[in-house]
């Protein structure tokens, strides 16, 4: 037994010595003393504790510290924190003890590491909130995240000792957030290894199949790379370039992803081979110039593939990555990718932003600002009190997984956005208020809607109006977390303002009448105004949708409105007839909804909330004012149909117990899509007069306008947004007054 203890002590000592030797930024006496102090404390705290593999637990923090030092390139304080990262979590030591023994900064980092240990809790809401806390530490000291990534990497490397269900949990977490986070921080090697290890445990058969094929083709691959590289080596040497050249293949995970997404075989992946040229730059010539010089020398030898040039030296990626990539045709008729980097670019590509510390004086290190900009975007999301934890997690993931595009402002300023971003995303990226007031954009001098998807190289001008407000529909097409968060915040702020304004107006009106607000009072008011909650009442009063002129008369009444009582009576009769006609013992196999079908369902306007209380059926497109019925689905949603709709008739005949009478309330905020068809005599200026009547005089937004003229007769179809049937009827009446218009009719069945 003593022999085993001695062997373990020797093993631990060897691992710690290896750590010290692998820490290039920890070689002065003060740093070494601090690291040894942390090791001694951790070794004593974890004494007798073992990992699932059976090895002493202390080997895990030593391994994490080594990754932090040698693979990420952090300094002594980060190594100390890595050694101590599980001490507060698993032992009797507290954060206060760490601060007393070491210092406040080390205690702060370890506190951040302790808080994020349970990021992936079974409770999704708590999980999201914990992840939010983790990102809070990122905006304060992102060494917390780097150490956490090192911890996750070592856990993945030793995952074989865990049971299968634990392996699946850890790998799903890793591929879900940790690998994308490593990519976003510029840690290419760590990101690649995390992905490969995740695939190894998630899809072991696919992993082994690809790995064996890579190994099986290694000799042939090396022969191709050597044959390909020889002329390049000669050319670079002739031009006195100090360089290193190496061959590589795509990672197993990236090959698997390409096989899955492209539905192709391993043998059909044409960019499987790549070489990397890393050069030692001349001090007085810009690195970008030297990259393009090397590119020109290579393309003197091999023909390039024009659509496969990636210039990340002129416009670095948002994670700081700089390189010039090109794909050329090799001597064996095979496409080969060439990556050209300086030594500085290579270190940043492999180690991420931690490597910037080595190059603080280098002029191009201004791309650190890209990282700081991303950090500030995360901080904006975190500091938004209106964003709940689950929304935040969704928004943050938008940024994590995004690849970037570069666009230009009219003044030539570059903006980095996620791939798939729209003009509105750019507006919010420039400033929140510009996004809130945006009405359109000019892309490459052509007018486009805010939903227009941008491409790299586009020059974009945002058009604004002081009267514009954010639209809920825009949430469907914006891509960036900042835009989504800003739009949601604008709606919530507007709702709060309206509710507060409405509350004050009602309380003031009640005070004038000598009445104190109470539940008894609101029981009279709410049904009178066709609302179901105080907040809805406040909101509609605050936005001017409800007038309080008749409040005194309402409070004197103690009976329900005739219309409500009429609908209740009608439904009661209908329900009685159904019960009387239903045979004894007849049981429905369908789930009966919990919604109260004894009352008319009020189709309320809830444009400020995250969802509406009902859905408008696309088969008949009813609008407020139409006679309608509601169909209650299994999940308690109400689908509103016109009473004469064929689908509504079918539903009423088959699912009578799910049909509720429905009643529109006042709608002046939400707009509904309607279509009209117009026919008349064509004449000069008719179209402009028609559009002016609809848009300017009636203040109705046109979504789509189709017009066709033949032999002096024109036919037009117009999709427009109206608030109600009476609103639409007024519009039809005004259009009919235009000279030359013969007929205007509403089209009820159309595809949106």
The tens digit of pLDDT for each residue in 38-59 reads 889 988 888 888 888 888 888 9
Are residues 220 and 159 part of one domain? no
**pLDDT for the residue 2:** 58
Which residues lie across from 405 on neighbouring strands? 417
Return the higher-pLDDT residue of 523 and 575. Answer: 523
Residue burial 329-349, b: 16+ Cβ < 10 Å; e: rest: ebeeeebbbbbbbbbbbbbbb
Q: What percent of the chain has pLDDT over 70?
A: 77
Instruction: Go through 521-558 and write b for each residue having 16 or more CB atoms within 10 A of its CB, e for each that does not.
Output: eeebbebbbbbeebbbbbbbbbbebbebeebeeeeeee
89 assigned to active site: yes
Same-domain check for residues 74 and 190: yes
Residues 569 and 713 in one domain: no
Question: For the segment 429-440, what is each residue's pLDDT rounded down to a tens digit?
Answer: 888 889 988 988
Give the pLDDT mean for 458-480. 84
| CATH of residue 695 | 3.30.70.260
- pLDDT of 196 reads 92
Element of type H or E holding 602: strand 601-603
Q: Phi/psi at 478 (nearest 5 deg)?
A: -70, 150
pLDDT of residue 396: 56
Report whether pLDDT(444) > 90: no
Rounded Cα distance, 230 and 741, in Å: 79
Specify if 38 maps to a domain: yes
Query: Which tens digit of pLDDT belongs to each residue from 473-522?
Result: 888 888 887 888 888 888 777 777 888 888 888 888 788 777 877 777 77
Task: Write the CB contacts of 726 (distance below 8 Å, at least 6 apart in sequence).
Answer: 625
The β-bridge partners of 747 are 675
| DSSP SS3 for 283 | coil
Mean pLDDT of 104-124: 65
pLDDT of residue 476: 82
> What pLDDT does residue 579 have?
47
SS3 253: helix
Task: Identify the top-confidence range among 321-330, 391-400, 546-555, 623-632.
Answer: 321-330
- Regarding whether 637 and 676 lie in a shared domain, the answer is no
Tens digits of residue pLDDT in 620-658: 888 887 888 888 887 677 888 887 777 776 776 556 667
Rounded distance, CA 462 to CA 471, Å?
Answer: 16
How would residue 356 be classed by pLDDT, with cut points 50, 70 and 90?
low
Q: Which is the catalytic residue, given 8, 55, 90, 343?
A: 90
Neighbour-count burial for 272-281, b at 16+ CB within 10 Å, e otherwise: bbbbbbbbeb
Report how far residue 607's alpha carbon sits from residue 517's, in angstroms, rounded to the nearest whole number: 26
Which entry of 6, 44, 89, 433 is annotated as an active-site residue? Answer: 89
CA–CA separation, 554 and 522 (whole Å):
11
Say which DSSP state 10 is in: H
Per-residue pLDDT, 167: 82
Among residues 302, 324, 359, which one ends one of the domains? 359
User: Where residue 469 falls among pLDDT bands split at 50, 70, 90?
Assistant: confident
Span of 210-219, 459-468, 530-539, 566-575 with lowest mean pLDDT? 566-575
Residue among 396, 397, 384 at smallest CA distance from 492: 384
Residue 346 has pLDDT above 70, yes or no: yes
Dist CA 561 CA 572 (whole Å): 16
In a domain, 130, yes or no: yes
Mean pLDDT over all residues of the chain?
A: 77
User: pTM (2 decimals)?
Assistant: 0.54
Does 108 share its domain with 222?
no
Cα–Cα distance measured from residue 453 to residue 425, given in angstroms and rounded to the nearest whole number: 9
Looking at the fold, whether 312 and 247 belong to one and the same domain comes out as yes
Of the two residues 214 and 372, the one the predictor is more confident about is 214
Where is average pLDDT lowest: 311-315, 351-355, 637-641, 744-748?
Answer: 351-355
Using pLDDT thresholds of 50, 70 and 90, give the confidence band for residue 235: very high
pLDDT band at 231 (very low <50, low <70, confident <90, very high): very high
Q: Mark 251-262 as b/e (b = at least 16 C-beta within 10 Å).
A: bbbbbbebbeee
What are 670-691's pLDDT values in tens digits?
Answer: 677 888 999 888 878 888 888 8
Is residue 264 located within the same domain as residue 120? no
Please compute, for residue 20, the number of CA atoms within 13 A of its CA located in the half-sphere on the CB side: 18
CATH assignment at residue 69:
1.10.3210.10
Which CATH number is 318's domain given? Answer: 3.30.460.10
Asked whether residue 464 is assigned to any structural domain, the reply reads: no
Residue 417 lies in a domain: no
Domain boundaries, position 314: 212-359
Query: 255 and 297 share a domain?
Result: yes
643: Cβ contacts below 8 Å, ≥ 6 apart = 627, 628, 629
Q: Is residue 102 part of a domain?
A: yes
Same domain, 688 and 598: no
Question: What pLDDT, on the 0 to 100 scale, is given for residue 604?
Answer: 61
Instruction: State yes or no: pLDDT of 18 exceeds 90.
Output: no
In a domain, 375, yes or no: no
pLDDT greater than 60 at residue 138:
no
Of 336, 359, 382, the domain-final residue: 359
Distance (Å, whole) CA 173 – CA 149: 12
> Average pLDDT of 344-371?
57
Band (3; pLDDT cuts 50, 70, 90): low
Q: Is the pLDDT of residue 368 over 60?
A: no
Beta-bridge partners for 662: 601
In a domain, 482, yes or no: no
How does pLDDT run across 268-309, given as a tens digit for each residue?
A: 776 677 899 999 999 889 999 999 999 999 999 999 888 788
Range picked from 9-18, 312-321, 567-576, 703-712 for highest mean pLDDT: 9-18
Same domain? 144 vs 165 = yes
CA atoms within 13 A on the CB side of 453: 7
Tell me how far apart the alpha carbons of residues 543 and 197 are, in angstroms, rounded to a whole number. 56
Which of the listed residues 344, 359, 374 is the one where a domain comes to its end? 359
SS (H, E, C) 531-600: CCCHHHHHHHHHCCCCCCCCHHHHHHCCCCCHHHHHHHHHHHHHHHHHHHHCCCCCCCCCCCCCCCCCCC
- What is the sign, positive or negative, of the torsion defined by CA atoms of 404, 410, 412, 413? negative
Given this model, what pLDDT does residue 628 score?
A: 82
Give the pLDDT band of residue 366 (cuts 50, 70, 90).
very low
Q: By percentage, how much of the chain surpasses pLDDT 90?
A: 11
Residue 738, pLDDT above cutoff 80: yes
pLDDT-derived band at 324 (thresholds 50, 70, 90) equals very high
Burial class of 190 by CB neighbour count within 10 A (0 to 12, 13 to 18, 19+): buried
pLDDT at 342: 92
Distances from the Cα of 44 to the Cαs of 37, 508, 667, in angstroms? 11, 69, 70
Average pLDDT over residues 390-401: 52
Q: 198 and 247: one domain?
A: no
For residues 605 and 672, give the distance between their C-alpha atoms in angstroms, rounded to a whole number: 11
Residues 570 and 699 in one domain: no
Domains identified in the chain, total number: 5
Residue 514 lies in a domain: yes
pLDDT for residue 405 = 76
Length of the chain in terms of residues written: 752
């Amino acid at each position: 037994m003593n022999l085993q203890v001695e062997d373990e002590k020797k093993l631990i000592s060897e691992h710690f010595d290896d750590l010290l030797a692998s820490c290039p930024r920890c070689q002065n006496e003060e740093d070494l003393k601090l690291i040894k102090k942390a090791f001694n404390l951790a070794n004593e705290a974890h004494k007798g504790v073992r990992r699932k593999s059976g090895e002493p637990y202390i080997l895990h923090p030593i391994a994490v510290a080594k990754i932090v030092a040698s693979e990420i390139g952090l300094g002594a304080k980060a190594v100390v924190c890595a050694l101590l990262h599980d001490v507060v979590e698993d032992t009797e030591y507290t954060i206060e003890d760490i601060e007393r023994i070491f210092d406040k900064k080390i205690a702060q980092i370890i506190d951040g590491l302790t808080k994020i240990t349970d990021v992936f809790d079974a409770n999704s809401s708590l999980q999201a909130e914990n992840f939010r806390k983790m990102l809070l530490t990122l905006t304060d000291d992102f060494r917390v995240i780097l150490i956490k990534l090192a911890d996750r990497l070592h856990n993945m490397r030793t995952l074989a000792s865990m049971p299968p269900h634990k392996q699946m949990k850890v790998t799903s977490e890793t591929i879900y957030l940790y690998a994308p986070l490593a990519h976003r921080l510029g840690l290419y090697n760590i990101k690649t290894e995390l992905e490969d290890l995740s695939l190894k445990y998630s899809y072991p058969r696919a992993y082994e199949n690809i790995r064996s094929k890579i190994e099986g083709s290694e000799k042939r691959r090396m022969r191709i790379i050597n044959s390909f590289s020889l002329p390049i080596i000669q050319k670079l040497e002739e031009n006195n370039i100090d360089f290193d050249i190496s061959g590589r293949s795509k990672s197993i995970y990236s090959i698997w992803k390409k096989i899955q997404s492209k539905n192709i075989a391993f043998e059909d992946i044409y960019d499987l081979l790549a070489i990397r040229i890393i050069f030692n730059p001349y001090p007085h010539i810009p690195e970008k110039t030297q990259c393009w010089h090397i590119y020109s020398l290579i393309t003197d030898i091999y023909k390039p593939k024009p659509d496969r040039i990636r210039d990340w030296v002129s416009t670095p990626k948002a994670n700081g990555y700089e390189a010039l990539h090109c794909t050329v045709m090799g001597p064996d008729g095979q496409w080969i990718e060439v990556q050209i980097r300086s030594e500085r670019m290579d270190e940043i590509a492999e180690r991420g932003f931690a490597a910037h510390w080595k190059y603080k004086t280098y002029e191009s290190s201004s791309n650190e600002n890209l990282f700081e900009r991303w950090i500030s975007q995360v901080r904006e999301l975190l500091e938004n009190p209106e964003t709940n934890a689950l929304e935040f997690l969704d928004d943050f993931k938008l940024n994590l997984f995004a690849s970037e595009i570069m666009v230009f402002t009219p003044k030539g300023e570059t903006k980095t956005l996620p791939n798939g971003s729209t003009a509105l995303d750019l507006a919010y990226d420039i400033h929140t208020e510009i996004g809130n007031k945006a009405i359109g954009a000019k892309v490459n001098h052509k007018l486009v809607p805010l939903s227009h998807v941008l491409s790299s190289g586009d020059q974009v001008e945002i058009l604004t109006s002081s009267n514009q407000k954010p639209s809920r529909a825009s949430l469907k097409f914006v891509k960036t977390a900042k835009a989504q968060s800003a739009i949601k915040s604008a709606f919530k702020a507007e709702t709060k303002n309206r509710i507060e304004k409405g509350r004050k107006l009602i309380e003031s009106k009640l005070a004038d009448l000598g009445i104190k607000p109470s539940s008894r009072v609101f029981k009279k008011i709410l049904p009178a105004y066709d609302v179901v909650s105080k907040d809805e009442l406040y909101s509609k009063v605050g936005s001017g949708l409800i007038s309080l002129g008749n409040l005194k008369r309402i409070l004197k009444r103690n009976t329900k409105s005739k219309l409500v009582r009429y609908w209740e009576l009608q439904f009661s009769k209908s329900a009685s007839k159904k019960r009387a006609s239903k045979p004894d013992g007849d049981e429905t196999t369908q789930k009966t909804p919990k919604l109260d079908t004894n009352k008319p369902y009020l189709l309320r306007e809830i444009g400020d909330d995250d969802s509406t209380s009902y859905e408008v059926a696309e088969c008949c497109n009813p609008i407020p004012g139409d006679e309608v019925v509601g169909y209650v689905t299994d999940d308690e949603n109400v689908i509103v149909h016109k009473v004469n709709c064929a689908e509504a008739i079918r539903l009423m005949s088959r699912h009578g117990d799910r049909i509720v009478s429905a009643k529109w309330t006042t709608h002046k905020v939400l707009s509904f899509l309607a279509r009209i068809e117009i026919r008349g005599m064509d004449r000069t200026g008719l179209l402009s007069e028609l559009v002016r009547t609809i848009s300017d005089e009636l203040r109705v937004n046109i979504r789509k306008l189709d017009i066709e003229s033949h032999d002096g007769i024109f036919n037009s179809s117009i999709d427009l947004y109206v608030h109600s049937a009476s609103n639409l009827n007024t519009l039809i009446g005004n259009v009919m007054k235009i000279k030359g218009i013969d007929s205007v009719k509403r089209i009820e069945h159309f595809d949106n």
